[in-house]
Each structure stands twice: as structure tokens, then as C-alpha cells.
Amino acid sequence: DPKIIQKPKYLVAVTGSEKILICEQYLGHNAMYWYRQSAKKPLEFMFSYSYQKLMDNQTASSRFQPQSSKKNHLDLQITALKPDDSATYFCASSQDGTANERLFFGHGTKLSVL
């Protein structure tokens, strides 16, 4: 059984719309992350949360907003979608969010913006 659940697996959106990507982890971890993987770029760090507090934000745009309602949830709200936002978004978790920890990744949500 997958320990990190991302929903939906595939998502098609219209330019200018808003979507929420869901992530739940059942590993008992205290840190969660979002990474983005687009066709021509390396896997890119977006956000990290530890104990439900934002630790690091490397996303330049405020259109991307993480939302943590529970310790094992970290959703990603994306507003005013653009075609450049098309990518696979990976949620990940680790024990505490400290250095050198193993990251566990979900299977990703593939977002296509038309």
C-alpha cells in the first residue's frame, strides 16, 4: 500500500483556473515537502514544512500556496494557472525535516494546463 497518497493522479486545468493538489502521508513523519518535475528542468524544491510550520519556500510566485490542515497533510493550492505550470508535482516526507534525511516521495500529480 502506498504510504504517501497524492490525489488526483492526473489533472487537466484551464488557464486562469485554480486547483488543489492533495497529499497525505502515513509514515508518521513530521516533515513534508512539495517538489515539481517539468519536462526540461531538474526536480525542483518548492516548499518544506516541519511540524506544520513553513520551513523553506523557494517558489517565487504567490500563486502557489501550501496548506497543512493536519500533521500528515500538505496540500498545494495553485491559483491563476498558466501553461508553464504544467508539470508533475511530487509530495514527499521525511522524519523531522533535518539535514541528510531520507525523503520518501509520492507517485505525483501530473498537471496539464491548457
Among 11, 13, 81, 92, binds another protein (CB under 8 A): 92
Site string for another protein, 20-49 (x = CB under 8 A): -----------x-x-------xxxxx--x-
Burial class (CB in 10 A: 0-12, 13-18, 19+), 2: exposed
Q: Using the minimum distance from each CB to another protein, give the nearer residue, 40 or 70.
A: 40
Dihedral-angle region of residue 100 (phi above 0 means left; psi in -120 to 50 means alpha; beta otherwise): left
| Contacts to another protein by CB under 8 A | 4, 31, 33, 41-45, 48, 55-56, 58, 90, 92, 94, 97-108
